[in-house]
Structure 1
Amino acid sequence: MSAVRRHKEVIDMPYVGTLCVTVDNLGRAAQIGTGEAVRPDLEEPGLKALPRLLNLLDEVGITATFFVEGWNGLHHPDALRSIASRGHEVGLHGWVHEKWATLTDDRREVLLYDGTAALRNVGIEPKGFRAPGGYRGSRTAQVLRELGYTFDSSVEPETENAPLEVRPLLEGLVTIPWHWDMIDYYQYHMHPDGERSPAQLLEHYNSRLDEAIRTGGLVTLIVHPFVSFTDGGDRYTAVRDFLSRAVAAPDVDVVSAGQLAARSLTREHGVTAGTAAQ
């Protein structure tokens, strides 16, 4: 069942939780950025896991937003085209996964222009951006707007722990927020209590979704191909079970970041969400 049809079915319910499904990182881009690698690798675990991830999204009927580093436009154009050909959105995630908040404004502008050009050169017109490391930093939103982007999915220190709310930025973009605890990498490698098990991750994800259903709130999921999809084991099963539960639930609206942004922009222009879904 498609995300669009699901949206039509649940839009009139009084309390609807929204799950926004996103994917981060591809290839050796991050390792190139840190100096751990110097060339692309077709055997990179996340790259090899991409077909398994795409097949799962097909199986459950979800459209996701993939935030990929612009470097992949040069070195893995076929992988990017495979994502787009399956109906998913492709957004920009820096050039080689730089620590975005530590860069100068000028350096961010260079990387935004180069990353956008690299994606456009393989036939992809990115509309969304997520800052590597999470934080958008200054001037980024202005440059994104100049480049034709419509939404940003980064975080701001002053609001990163607040309830998630899609809202407009002064620069004319929509922001699609998220929380750290809904990232698979965070649960397995950054959790303050130590590495979580797949069963603990699934329990936490489900509790967050239950809360969103009760309050009509938003949950943004961030998964990484190299973290949860390198084999058919427990990590893969946890994500599969969570997504399957969300899709089957009549009170959950499962959307991509771009779909969520489009809905918000449509409402800003005076058209109801129900009309926009038609």
Structure 2
Amino acid sequence: MALTVDFDAEELWLAEDPANAARPGVLSQARYGVERAIPDILDMLSRLDVPATFFVCGGDAERHPHTVETIVARGHELGHHGFTHRSPHLMSRDEEADELGRGLDVLRRFVPRVRGYRSPSWETSPNTLDLLVEQGMDFTSQLMDATVPYRHPAHDIVELPVHWILDDAPHFWFDTSGWDRTIRSAREVAELWQEECDAVHDEGGLAVLTVHPQIIGRPGRLRMLERFLAARRADGGIWFARGAEIADRVRAAAPARPPAATS
């Protein structure tokens, strides 16, 4: 099992609409994630002795360097989540390359090497994998085509598959652009996650849980997450690992094969 935390703070709302920069009420959600939720999440992970991979937008790392320093100091992995939270499929190749490079430049101020990448909103372009290989990235976590990690056939990069069912946003997300969305109870989401994780575990697969500080970090939801993780931590048959550790195991089990020749 991999616990992944998408730390996208202000960049999430600025990517939706640059005018949100002048809306303190909207951006207060990001402030909650930084000032309240991440410290609470880090304390919870320490209590449970669970490692996590934090995918961080470069722009947010620049705004909140102390928070990123604390994440690294607590032993968690730092992953790339774009410089802004703009979706790569909306960019040209050069724009996407610039986003990737700018984000890496920022994150390398905190760790010597960034090995993993998750695109904003799990959106990719035809150029994404080529650019990641050029930058020496080892793994991605953004596709929904499997329940086991695998090596991409034409790129030397490992995929840690995800799915919306194991993401907190589809269940809890709310904004005022539409008032018809129902916020699920933490109890209901815990049941959904348990059903899915149990089935993936029975198949010998990888369950990638994706959470966002400003969403999961509300007090009632964080209590649910701690209970959920504690129960799985007590199961001796589940391996909790950082993304790079999983990628290393996949590489050891499945050596790289050259892409098939084309005529």
**Where on the TM-score scale, by shorter chain, does this alignment land: which range?**
0.7 to 0.9
Mapped contact 2:172–2:184 kept (Cα < 8 A): yes
Is the Cα contact below 8 Å between 1:26 and 1:47 reproduced in 2? no
Deviation of residue 187 (structure 1)? Answer: 1.2
Q: Which runs of 4+ in 1 moved over 3 A?
A: 38-43
TM-score, with length taken from structure 1: 0.81
Aligned to 2:33: 46
1:239 to 209, 221, 225: 225
* Structure 2 partner of 1:5: none
> Bigger shift: 98-107 or 170-179?
98-107
Please, which of 245, 249, 253 is the counterpart of residue 235 of structure 2? 249
Looking at structure 2, the residues matched to 238 and 261 of structure 1 have their Cα atoms a distance apart, in angstroms, of: 28
- The range that moved more, 220-229 or 207-216, is 207-216
Aligned to 1:253, the other structure's residue is in SS state: coil
Instruction: Pick closer, same or farther for the CA change 1:194–1:73 going to 2, 3 Å.
Output: closer
Q: Could you tell me which residue of structure 1 aligns to residue 261 of structure 2?
A: none
5+ residue gaps, structure 2: 175-179, 257-263
Q: Choose the corresponding residue for 1:37, options 18, 21, 24.
A: 21
Q: Normalized against structure 2, the TM-score is what?
A: 0.86
Output the amino acid matched with 2:32: P
Matches within 5 A, 1:81-230: 81-155=69-143, 160=144, 162-169=145-152, 170-189=154-173, 194-230=182-218
Q: Report how far residue 193 of structure 1 moved.
A: 8.3
The alignment yields a C-alpha RMSD, in angstroms, of 2.3
Q: Secondary structure at the match of 1:44?
A: helix
Deviation of 1:168 after TM superposition, in Å, equals 1.0
CA distance in 1, matches of 2:88, 2:101: 14
Pair 124,56 (structure 1): closer, same or farther in 2 beyond 3 Å:
farther
**Equivalent in the alignment of 1:21:** 3
- Structure 1 stretches of 5 or more lacking a match? 1-18, 271-278
CA deviation after TM superposition for structure 1 residue 141, in Å: 1.4
Asked if structure 2 preserves the Cα contact closer than 8 Å seen for 1:73 and 1:122, the reply is no
- SS of the equivalent of 1:218 reads coil
Question: CA separation of 1:225/1:193 partners in 2, compared to 1, >3 Å: closer, same or farther?
Answer: closer
Identity value in percent: 25
Whether the aligned pair in 1 keeps the contact of 2:88 and 2:128 (CA below 8 Å) is no
**Structure 1 residue identity aligned to 2:119:** A
- Tell me the matched-pair count: 244
Quote how far apart the aligned CAs of 1:116 are: 0.4
Cα offsets for 1:127-151 (capped at 9, x unmatched): 1000101122211112112212100
Decide which moves more: 120-129 or 102-111: 120-129
Aligned partner letter, 2:10: R
Q: Displacement of 1:32 after TM fit?
A: 2.5
Deviation per CA, 1:189-225, whole angstroms, max 9, x where unpaired? 38x9843210000011111121123221221100111
